[in-house]
Amino acid sequence: GAGRHGERRGHEQHVELGQAQASMEKYMRYSQELRDRAPDNPGYRMELAYAHSNLGSVARARGDAELALREFRVAAQISESELKSQPGDAARISDLADIWSWINSTLLDLGRLQESEQAAVKAADLMRILHDQGKDARASAKYADYLLLLADIQLQLGQVAAATDQFESARDIPTSLLARAPSNAF
């Protein structure tokens, strides 16, 4: 019956996550080999950050938030170091913002609201750099998304005034994007 179908789906999901874990571990080994062969190559160092981030995503999906958090923090450390060497690089800024967003979500999973808020602030602050340049509508839209994530956490913390400010800032972004490009469906 329905119960057996649910069990089968749960088993399939477990197998899929196991396969994803194996793939990400292989990707990690390749990334480490590349970095070891050419430690001065920034692209290889970023591959290592992506590998840690991917392992964090799989760990989170498997319900191991503590392991996920460790992987995301290593990814953030590498990514922050790379951003320092190329401070204005838009792709690096966006990548690091994404990692802080994952850290934020994982801290929420663990019920660590204060730390989650700090991570959400970091993600939003990074995307604000790109939003303020006014060149990339997708970066501005992502900035709005991160402001909404931050507002949600602030509401949970009882910071209603701060949350309201974030909501209003986020709401204004799509309006200004639409005014600049009224035919853009995105």
Tens of pLDDT, residue by residue over 106-145, are 999 999 999 999 999 999 999 999 999 988 999 999 999 9
Question: Which of helix, strand or coil describes residue 136?
Answer: coil
* 10 C-beta neighbours (distance < 10 Å), count: 10
Separation CA 96–CA 147 (nearest Å): 16
pLDDT at position 142, please? 95
Separation CA 159–CA 165 (nearest Å): 10
- Per-residue pLDDT tens digits for 153-167: 999 999 999 999 999
> What's the pTM?
0.83
pLDDT at position 14, please? 62
Residues of the chain with pLDDT under 50: none
Which parts of 86-136 fold into alpha helices (H)? Answer: 90-109, 113-133
Based on the number of CB atoms within 10 Å of its own CB, is 89 exposed (0-12), middle (13-18) or buried (19 or more)?
A: middle
Separation CA 186–CA 139 (nearest Å): 12
Length reported for the chain: 186
Separation CA 135–CA 14 (nearest Å): 42
Separation CA 122–CA 136 (nearest Å): 19
172-181 residues labelled b (16+ CB within 10 A) or e (exposed): ebeeebeeee
